[in-house]
Amino acid sequence: MAKMEVKTSLLDDMIGVGDMVLLEPLTEDSFINNLKKRFDHNEVYTYIGSVVISINPYRSLPIYTPEKVEEYRNRNFYELSPHIFALSDEAYRSLRDQDKDQCILITGESGAGKTEASKLVMSYVAAVCGKGAEVNQVKEQLLQSNPVLEAFGNAKTVRNDNSSRFGKYMDIEFDFKGDPLGGVISNYLLEKSRVVKQPRGERNFHIFYQILSGASEDFLCKLKLERDFSRYNYLGLDSAKVNGVDDAANFRTVRNAMQIVGFMDHETQSVFEVVAAVLKLGNIEFKPESRVNGLDESKIKDKNELKEICELTGIDQSVLERAFSFRTVEAKQEKVSTTLNVAQAYYARDALAKNLYSRLFSWLVTRINESIKAQTKVRKKVMGVLDIYGFEIFEDNSFEQFIINYCNEKLQQIFIELTLKEEQEEYIREGIEWTHIEYFNNAIICDLIENNQTGILAMLDEECLRPGTVTDDTFLEKLNQVCATHQHFESRMSKCSRFLNDTSLPHSCFRIQHYAGKVMYQVEGFVDKNNDLLYRDLSQAMWKASHSLIKALFPEGNPAKINLKRPPTAGSQFKASVATLMKNLQTKNPNYIRCIKPNDKKAAHIFNDALVCHQIRYLGLLENVRVRRAGYAFRQAYEPCLERYKMLCKQTWPHWRGPARAGVEVLFNELEIPEEEFSFGRSKIFIRNPRTLFKLEDLRKQRLEDLATLIEKIYRGWKCRTRFLLMKKSQIVIASWYRRYAQQKKYQKIKSSAIIVQSYIRGWKARKLLRELKHQKRCNEAATIIAAYWHGTQVRREYRKFFRANAGRKIYEFTLQRLMQKYFLEMKNKMPSLSPIDKNWPARPYLFLDSTHKELKRIFHLWRCKKYRDQFTDQQKLIYEEKLEASELFKDKKALYPASVGQPFQGAYLEISKNPKYKKLKDAVDEKIIIAEVVNKINRANGKATSRIFLLTKNNVLLADQKSGNIKSEVPLGDVTKVSMSSQNDGFFAVHLKEGSEAAGKGDFLLSSDHLIEMATKLYRTTLSQTKQKLNIEISDEFLVQFRQDKVCVKFIQGSQKNGSIPTCKRKNNRLLEVAVP
C-alpha cells in the first residue's frame, strides 16, 4: 500500500470478497472462484468472520516486513486487508487488555503451510510485545525452539519438503504487561515408524541428513559416522538431496539454536551420539542358525557395527548381542527365555531404533520446556499455538492416519462448538434474539472411534490384550461384529449386505465416513503399531548403558523397578493426550487459521480447483460460513459504521452531534432499508444479508463520486479566486516597484548630468593650471640648458689641450666597463638551476671574457655544491662520503662499480639483534657491527663455496658459521694488509693477512659477496680510521693468495657458464684457481 493511502476497512479496494461471510451467492464454485481470484492477485489470506483461510503461495511475498507488522499493530480486525497478523494482533490484544487466555488453532493437510503459519504468529507476537534484555532472551529462546524441533520432528514427504511428523502445542505465558515469561511445549504422536522405513520419494527425519552433511570430519569420527548417505540402511537414497535445502547450513543453525535455548555442550554431544546410534542400528544384519534342539535362532553377521554402537552408548557388547538374539518372558515368579529368529530379530532392532528416537524426541521437548518455562510464580496469561497434522487421505492409510484423522475429528467438533458458542455469546451480549442453527454434528464419528465400550480404539486395545492368537484380521472381524450397523462404518465383511459387491473396498480394509469425506484404512499393522512393544531384554540392556542420557530414556529397564503390568497402548495414550488437549482448548478463547495447499507440485502461481475443493470440504469451510450466516452475515460497531456511511444522509453529513447509535438509526431510516434486514444491538449494527451491505457500499461509492465532484468544483473555484487575488496583489506590488524604479532612473540621470558638468569644469581648470606649470617648467629647463652649454664651453676651452692625449684610453676603459656591466646583468638572468648535476651554462658572449667566464662557472658550481651539501644530515654525509670513497677506489677500475652506484650502502643486511637465531653470535660480539652480510668462503682444496657470516666491527673482521652462529675466525684490522679483486663483473675478493700474525696461520681469505664494493669501501675506511694507514686495494685479473705455506694464483677468465650469470671457481692444479666470469 502506498504511503499516501489510508485504508479504514477491508471493504476498500477489495479483490473478490475479503470475508466469505459476505460472498453472494454462497456455493462451492463461488467459494473456490473467490479464493482463486484473490490468490491470482497475491492475496493469500481470506476471512470467514474471525477465521483466517491461508493459501500456501510456495514463494516469498513482501507482506511480512517490519513495516507490515507496524501497519497491523493495534488495528481493528476488519480495518485492513485479511492477514495472519490481524488475527495475531487481535489474539494478543485480547490477552493483554481483556485478560482472556487465547489459543490459535492451525490446521490443514501436509504442505499447506501450518508450520510457517505458526512461525509467523510467534514472530508477530515477539515483535509487538515488550522489549528488554530478559524479555528479548525469552523471545529468542521461544523462537529458537522451532529449528530444534523441526530438525528432529520434520521430514521431507511427497507433499511437503518440511512436513511436521508430530503435533505441537505451545503455551506461551505472559505477565500482566503482555511481556513473555516463558512457554510450555506438548508434542503428540511422533511418526516414529519413519525412522526405520520411509515411503518412496520421502526422507527420514532432517537431523540424520544434517549431521552427515554439516558436521566436521572430526565430529563425524567421534560419532563413528561416514558422510556417505548410502552407507546407512535407514536413509532412503532416492530423495537424500532436496532442491533448495542446505542440510549443512541447517545443521549449523540447529547447533546454534540448541545453544541459545540452553543446551549444555555435553547434552548436545549426548543427543548426537544417540542419533548416531539410531542410524547405525539400521546397519545391523542377522543370519539364521539352527540349534541342536531344532529351534531357529539369529546371529549378527558383522559385529563391527554392533561394537561401534556399544562404544557410543557405553553398553557391554555381549549384553546387547544377547538382547538381539533372546527374549525373556516373565510370568509371576517364572522366567522363560526363548530365541529370536531372523524376522523377530529385525523386529526387535527396528523397535529399539523407533523407541530410542521417540524417547529422545520426548526428552528434547522436556529439556526445552525446562529452559523456556516461566521462572516466576505470579499469575500468568496464556496464548496457546496448536500446529498439528491436518486431515490425511493417502492411497494407503494405516494406523498413523487413523489416529491423525481422529484428532482432526475432535478439533472439528470443538471448532463447531466454540464457533456456535462465540456467535451465541455475541448475540446475547448485544441483546439480539438467538435462533437455533442446524449443522452437522460429528460427535457420532468421534463416538465411533473413542467410545470406551464399542469404540474402535477400545476394541483395538481389547484385541491387543486378549490372550491367544491376535492378528489384524481378528481385529477386523471384531470391528465387523460390533460396528456393522454404524452408519459411518463400512467393510466388505460387514453384516450389512449392501457392501458385499463393493469392489473398491478390499477385504483387509475398513472405511469410515469422516466429516471431511470417506477414508479407507488398511488394517495391516494396526495391532503391532498399537502395541508398540519393546522387548524387556532390550530395555534392560539400554538401562545398563554408561551413557547417562540413554540410561535416563529407559527407566523401566531398572531390574529393581520391574513392572509386570502391560504398558498402555499407543492408541490409549494418544486418546488421553487428545482429551487433555481438548480440555485445555475449552478454557481458552479460540482463534482459527485454516491452511490450504493450492497444488501438489509445490509450485507458485498454480491453483488446482479440484485439490482446493477437496480441502474445503474436509476442513468444513462452507459449513463454517453457513453457521456464521445463519443469523446475521455482517456486524459492525456503531462508530465505524456511522463514519463509513454518514455521507449517505444529509442529517448525518458532514458531522453528527448525537450518539453514534442514533446516527445509524437516522441513516438507515433515511435509506429506507427494510427492518427485517438489520437489527440494532447494544454496541453494534447487525446486517442479515450481504446484499444489503453491498447495496450500502454501492450507494457509498456513488456518493463518494458525487462528493469528489463537489469537492473538485469547490476546489477549482477556490483556486481561481486565490489566483485572481494573488494576481491583483502582484499587480499592485509590480506598479509600486515600477514607479519607484522610474523615479530612481530619473534621479540617476539628473545626478549623472550634474557630475558630467562638474567634471568638465574641473577638467578645464586642471588643464589651465597644467599649461601654466608646463610653461614655467620649460622656462626653467631652458635656463638650465643654456647654463650647461655655457659651462661645457668653458670646460672644453680649459681642457682642450689635454683631451687629445688621453682620449683613446678613456674611450677603451669606458667601453670595456659598459661591456662588463652588460655581461654581468645578462648572466644574472641566465643563471642555471642550483642542482649540482645540472651541466647547463650560458654561452660566452665575448672572446676576451673566456677566462672570466670559466672561472665564474667554476665558482658558481662550487657555491651551489656547498649549498647542496649544507642540506645533508650527518647520516647522509657519511653515506655520500662512503660513496665518494668508493668512486675514488673503483671508478673506471672495477666493472662491478657502476651497478653499485644506485644501491644504498645498508651495512647490516642481517638483523642479528632481532633474529633469535643469531643470539649466540650477538652475545659474542661486544662492538658495534659496521657490516653484517652472508658471504661465500672459497675452499682452498676444490674451489667450492661455503656460506659464512662476514662481520666488520671497529677493530676486527670476523667470519661465523651461518647455521650455528659460532665464530670461525677473528682478525684484527691491523693484521689486514691488502684486499685483492679482479677488474671484471664478479664478487670475488681476497683478504690478505700480515705474515707471522696469529690470524695468518691458515692463510688468506678468498671470499665472494653480492655487495663487494660496499664491503671493500667500509673495510678501507674502517682500517684507515683505526690504524691511520691506507689499506692497499689491488685490482688485477691475476693475484696471489697465501694458503697455509703455499701461494696459489687466482686467475679470472671470460667464458659462458652453465649456471647462467653466476661466476664459478675451479681449482686447476696446486698452484692455480680459475674463476670463470660470464
Instruction: State pLDDT tens for residues 316-332.
Output: 888 888 888 888 776 55
Among 177, 168, 190, 159, smallest CA distance to 58 is for: 159
- Residue 97, pLDDT > 70, answer yes
- C-alpha span between 726 and 626 (Å, rounded): 63
Cis peptide before 467 (omega within 30 of 0): no
Between 421 and 1002, the higher pLDDT residue:
1002
* Arithmetic mean of pLDDT, 402-421: 80
- The pLDDT assigned to 1060 comes to 62
CB of 594 within 8 A of CB of 46? no
Report the half-sphere exposure of 96 (CA within 13 A, side-chain side): 15
- Residue 103, pLDDT > 50, answer yes
Any idea of the CA torsion for 180, 184, 188, 193, to the nearest 10 degrees?
A: 100
DSSP E strands in 403-516: the ranges are 489-491, 509-514
Residue 112 confidence class, pLDDT cut points 50, 70, 90? confident
Residues that are catalytic: 110-111, 115, 160, 163-164, 390, 392
What's at 710, amino acid-wise?
Answer: L
- Residue 459, pLDDT > 70, answer yes
* Arithmetic mean of pLDDT, 55-62: 90
Between 1004 and 732, the higher pLDDT residue:
732
- Residue 1048, pLDDT > 90, answer no
- Residue 500, pLDDT > 60, answer no
Residue 493 confidence class, pLDDT cut points 50, 70, 90? low
* Arithmetic mean of pLDDT, 112-130: 86
Among 245, 239, 260, 237, smallest CA distance to 210 is for: 245
Residue 849 confidence class, pLDDT cut points 50, 70, 90? confident
- The pLDDT assigned to 3 comes to 38
- Residue 252, pLDDT > 90, answer yes
Residue 12 confidence class, pLDDT cut points 50, 70, 90? low
Q: Where is mean pLDDT largest: 230-234, 498-502, 552-556? A: 230-234
282 φψ region: left (φ > 0), alpha (ψ -120 to 50), beta (else): alpha
Residue 773 confidence class, pLDDT cut points 50, 70, 90? very high
Among all chains, which residue has been given the C-alpha cell 530414556?
A: 553
- C-alpha span between 1006 and 991 (Å, rounded): 7
Cα–Cα separations (whole angstroms), residue 940 to 30, 508, 719, 885, 948: 110, 105, 112, 31, 15
- The pLDDT assigned to 495 comes to 46
pLDDT tens digits for range 956-992? 888 888 888 788 888 898 889 899 999 888 888 999 9
- The pLDDT assigned to 747 comes to 95
Among 444, 529, 539, smallest CA distance to 485 is for: 444
**What percent of the chain stands above pLDDT 90?**
18
Poorest-pLDDT segment among 435-439, 455-459, 600-604, 880-884: 435-439
- C-alpha span between 140 and 136 (Å, rounded): 6
Between 201 and 377, the higher pLDDT residue:
201
- The pLDDT assigned to 802 comes to 66
Residue 373 has a CB neighbour count (10 Å cut-off) of 14
What is 901-920 written as a DSSP string? HTS----B-S-TTT-GGGHH
* Arithmetic mean of pLDDT, 926-946: 84
- The pLDDT assigned to 1003 comes to 84
Among all chains, which residue has been given the C-alpha cell 451465541?
A: 424
pLDDT tens digits for range 670-718? 877 777 777 787 888 777 666 777 777 778 888 888 888 888 999 999 9
- C-alpha span between 697 and 293 (Å, rounded): 90
- Residue 951, pLDDT > 70, answer yes
- Supply the DSSP symbol for 932: E
Helix then strand then coil, % of the chain, to nearest 5 = 50, 15, 30
* Arithmetic mean of pLDDT, 152-170: 85
Cis peptide before 659 (omega within 30 of 0): no
CB of 684 within 8 A of CB of 635? yes
* Arithmetic mean of pLDDT, 455-465: 85
Poorest-pLDDT segment among 33-37, 144-148, 544-548, 878-882: 878-882
Cα–Cα separations (whole angstroms), residue 99 to 50, 91, 94, 600: 19, 11, 7, 42
- The pLDDT assigned to 132 comes to 66
Residue 1057 confidence class, pLDDT cut points 50, 70, 90? low
- Residue 2, pLDDT > 60, answer no
- Residue 645, pLDDT > 60, answer yes
Residue 13 confidence class, pLDDT cut points 50, 70, 90? low
Poorest-pLDDT segment among 736-740, 822-826, 1067-1071: 1067-1071
- The pLDDT assigned to 6 comes to 42
- Residue 68, pLDDT > 80, answer yes
Cα–Cα separations (whole angstroms), residue 317 to 303, 304, 320, 543: 9, 10, 5, 14
CB of 484 within 8 A of CB of 585? no
What is 687-750 written as a DSSP string? ES-HHHHHHHHHHHHHHHHHHHHHHHHHHHHHHHHHHHHHHHHHHHHHHHHHHHHHHHHHHHHH
pLDDT tens digits for range 799-842? 776 666 677 777 888 888 888 888 888 888 888 888 888 888 88
Between 564 and 944, the higher pLDDT residue:
944
- Residue 280, pLDDT > 80, answer yes
* Arithmetic mean of pLDDT, 651-658: 81
- Residue 78, pLDDT > 60, answer yes
Q: Where is mean pLDDT largest: 423-437, 532-546, 761-775? A: 761-775
Write b or e for each residue in 634-664: b if 16 or more Cβ atoms lie within 10 A of its Cβ, otherwise e.
bbbbbebbbbbbbbbbeebeeebeeebbebb
Write b or e for each residue in 724-738: b if 16 or more Cβ atoms lie within 10 A of its Cβ, otherwise e.
eeeeeeeeeeeeeee
What is 836-896 written as a DSSP string? TT----PPPS-GGGHHHHHHHHHHHHHHHHHHHHHT--HHHHHHHHHHHHHHHHHTTT-TT
Between 341 and 766, the higher pLDDT residue:
766
- Residue 7, pLDDT > 60, answer no
Between 1011 and 139, the higher pLDDT residue:
1011
- The pLDDT assigned to 386 comes to 86
- The pLDDT assigned to 293 comes to 61
* Arithmetic mean of pLDDT, 374-401: 80
